[in-house]
Amino acid sequence: MTAVEVLAAAMLVAGGGFYLAGTVGLLRFPDALSRLHALTKADNVGLLLVCAGLGLLSGSLREAALLLLIWLLALLAATVSAHLIARRALADGVEVERRDGGTP
Amino acid sequence: MTSATVWVLAAASIFGVGLYALIVARHLLRQLIAVNVMGSAVFVLLVVAAGPIAGALDGIPLALVLTGIVVAVSATGFALALLVRLAEATGSISLEDDGEPDDR
Amino acid sequence: MSLAVDLSIAAGLVVLAWRSLAGRDLFRGIVMYIVFGLLLAVTWARLGSPDLAMAEAAIGAGVTGALLMVAYWRLKRISPAEPEDRSPRRSRLAATVALLSTGMVAAIGLAAVQAIGPGGIAGRALFEALPATGLGNPITGVLVVFRNLDTVLEVAVLLAAYLAVRAVLGDRGESLAQPPPQEARLVGALVGVVAPLSVLVALYLLRAGSYLPGGAFQAGATLAACGVLLLLTGRLRAAADAGPWVRGALVVGTAVFGLFGVAMLAFGEPLLAIPGTWAVYLIETAMMVSIAVTLMLLFAGAAGLGGGRR
């Protein structure tokens, strides 16, 4: 395995790890907003790593550029949908706890 | 166990799950989803049975499944219109006859 | 190693199918079905067919999921009580029937998979006849040239579905999906980026479908997804009357394809013979327009489309 392949494999595994972390957050966090926080951050970084790893493996600049475009589009979609879900969750009256126990 | 066997068994299981839900479910929307799931299982079966021809997959079953996907969505759209109309007309979302008076 | 990948995707499919149908919450079931559709798209890619993967992601997961969601909310508004109880008296018989059918399907599938050797005669003939049509994508070849009777009827089925929905729901002027009264700013940005990009991608898929994975169905589904987005955000509204443009768009796919087929009879060719690659492009473009508009109208559950707020 060449150095590029090793690096790409490491990125793919790291991306998978980020996805796992996001899913654990989705399952374990108490309310909608914190779940959203875990999911969007972890999934987008995970996708970036996966796309970067695949781009490295592809060996062609065109494919790497297309993968970057895919990541940007996924980022846009995830951003807007997270925003809309958060707005809806707030409107529904989800409780957000502060560290000192009060509510904002 | 080859990969084709795995897919065939998976398709058969999904078909069975869909059929069970179709018979047992009361809500018409659920029955519609069950029919769609059964259709998808059949599509998987068709594609798995498509043998390789000179390196690529046999094109004819793939075209059949593509046609099937579009026809399935048309039928689903029509079925949903029927569902909405039924709900508006009778107020119930089930075709069950429990022997109870229709008092909604 | 690759068997492990197959096993995990297949297991995921079975679990998702179960989760979308079991359990009390219907909304969760619909969401699981959308995820099932997406994993099915991955399955098509795994089984070696990018065309099917694109079509499944756009139509199977996207449009069907949107249709189910809209219907769910509509039904919820009409009658809030949903009967979700299982009916215990039938479950044993149902389980037996389901198990038997699973066994039957497995037997058929395993037999079909093993019978591949001397089969595939039609596929071989397709492989040999494809270069003569000037197309590089065998699926497009089958759909538009070799077995185009199926495709003509399929576009006609789409039109029939629209007419059937129109007959059932009447001349509704309001879409089944209502945009919210106050829109988040980000949504405007999303629409501004995604809508033109979708049109570009659709046109590319249409053109590239002749020699790469793609084609009229994928292009039409992409446009339909863009249309669903516009309907959901109020850029497009439903209208009670299908104007001439909408009517034309609905019919053009079936009409162009059918006219070609019949016109060739006048030239002494058999029914639905395709004279050249230019005819394939024309027919595919007409089909794309029809598929897109029909799917949008199926989603809206309305008779026609009109302009909305900017």
Q: What range defines the domain where residue C62 resides? A: 1-80
Domain assignment present for B57: yes
DSSP class of A99:
T
Alpha-carbon distance A60 to nearest alpha carbon in chain C (angstroms): 18
Q: What range defines the domain where residue A36 resides? A: 3-91
Among the partner residues B37, B73, B83, nearest to C75 by beta-carbon distance: B83
Helix (H/G/I), strand (E/B), else coil: A16 = helix
Residues 6 or more apart whose Cβ sits within 8 Å of residue B80: B32, C67, C68, C70, C71, C301
Residues in B closer than 8 angstroms to C160, CB to CB, are: 74
Q: Please say which residue of C80, C111, C146 terminates a domain.
A: C80
Q: Do C134 and C246 belong to one domain?
A: yes
Closest-CA residue to C154 (of C141, C144, C146): C144
**Secondary element (H or E) of residue A67:** helix A61-91
Q: Do C2 and C128 belong to one domain?
A: no
Q: Do C76 and C127 belong to one domain?
A: no
C187-219 pLDDT, tens digit each: 888 889 999 999 999 999 998 888 888 889 999
Number of folded domains in chain A? 1
CATH number assigned to the domain comprising residue B70: 1.10.287.3510
B15-60 pLDDT, tens digit each: 999 999 998 888 889 999 999 999 999 999 999 887 666 667 778 8
pLDDT at B104 over 50: no
Among the partner residues C186, C194, C197, nearest to A79 by beta-carbon distance: C186
**Secondary element (H or E) of residue B49:** none
Domain assignment present for B98: no
Q: Do C182 and C255 belong to one domain?
A: yes
Closest-CA residue to B32 (of C71, C74, C165): C71
Can you spell out the DSSP letters for A48-61? HHHHHHHHHHH--H
Domain assignment present for A100: no
Q: Lowest-pLDDT range, A19-33, B25-39, C122-136, C247-261?
A: C122-136
Averaged pLDDT, A1-11: 89
Domain assignment present for C91: no
Domain assignment present for A60: yes
Six-digit token string for A47: 């996708």
Number of folded domains in chain B? 1
Pairing of strands B56-57, C236-239: unpaired
Q: How far apart are CA C229 and CA C207, in angstroms?
A: 23
Helix (H/G/I), strand (E/B), else coil: B11 = helix
Q: Do C39 and C151 belong to one domain?
A: no
Are C75 and B96 in contact (CB < 8 Å)?
no
Alpha-carbon distance B16 to nearest alpha carbon in chain C (angstroms): 5
Averaged pLDDT, A78-104: 74
| Chain A contacts to C (CB-CB under 8 A) | 73, 76-77, 79-80, 83-84, 87
Q: Which residue has the tokens 């197309």?
A: C135
- A17 or A104: whose pLDDT is higher? A17
Q: Do C281 and C146 belong to one domain?
A: yes
Question: What's the pLDDT band for C164 if we cut at 50, 70, 90?
Answer: very high
What's residue A97's pLDDT? Answer: 57
Domain assignment present for A99: no
Query: For every residue of chain C, which 3-state class applies, written as one string?
Result: CHHHHHHHHHHHHHHHHHHHHCCCCHHHHHHHHHHHHHHHHHHHHHCCCHHHHHHHHHHHHHHHHHHHHHHHHHHHHHCCCCCCCCCHHHHHHHHHHHHHHHHHHHHHHHHHHHCCCCCCHHHHHHHHHHHHHCCCCHHHHHHHHHCHHHHHHHHHHHHHHHHHHHHHHCCCCCCCCCCCCCCCHHHHHHHHHHHHHHHHHHHHHHHHCCCCCCCHHHHHHHHHHHHHHHHHCCCEEEECCCCHHHHHHHHHHHHHHHHHHHHHHHCCCCCCCCCCHHHHHHHHHHHHHHHHHHHHHHHHCCCEEEECCC
Q: What range defines the domain where residue B66 resides? A: 3-90
Q: How far apart are CA C32 and CA C225, in angstroms?
A: 19
CA angle A89, A94, A100 (to 5 degrees): 130
Domain assignment present for B96: no
Q: Do C302 and C155 belong to one domain?
A: yes
Among the partner residues B51, B65, B83, nearest to C120 by beta-carbon distance: B51
Complex confidence, ipTM: 0.90
Averaged pLDDT, C113-120: 64
Domain assignment present for A67: yes
What's residue B103's pLDDT? Answer: 47
pLDDT at C254 over 70: yes
Averaged pLDDT, C27-43: 94
C269-300 pLDDT, tens digit each: 777 777 777 888 888 999 999 999 999 988 88
Q: Do C75 and C135 belong to one domain?
A: no
What's residue C20's pLDDT? Answer: 92
Q: Report the residue of chain A nearest C183, measured CA to CA.
A: A84
Domain assignment present for C113: no
Among the partner residues B36, B48, B74, nearest to C47 by beta-carbon distance: B48
Closest-CA residue to C33 (of A97, B65, B45, B14): B14
Q: How many CB atoms lie within 10 A of CB B99?
A: 5
Are C112 and B9 in contact (CB < 8 Å)?
no
Helix (H/G/I), strand (E/B), else coil: B92 = coil
Number of folded domains in chain C? 2
pLDDT at C171 over 70: yes
The pTM (predicted TM-score) of the whole model is: 0.90
CA distances from C36 to B30, C217, C293 (A): 15, 21, 26
- C292 or C137: whose pLDDT is higher? C292
Domain assignment present for B21: yes
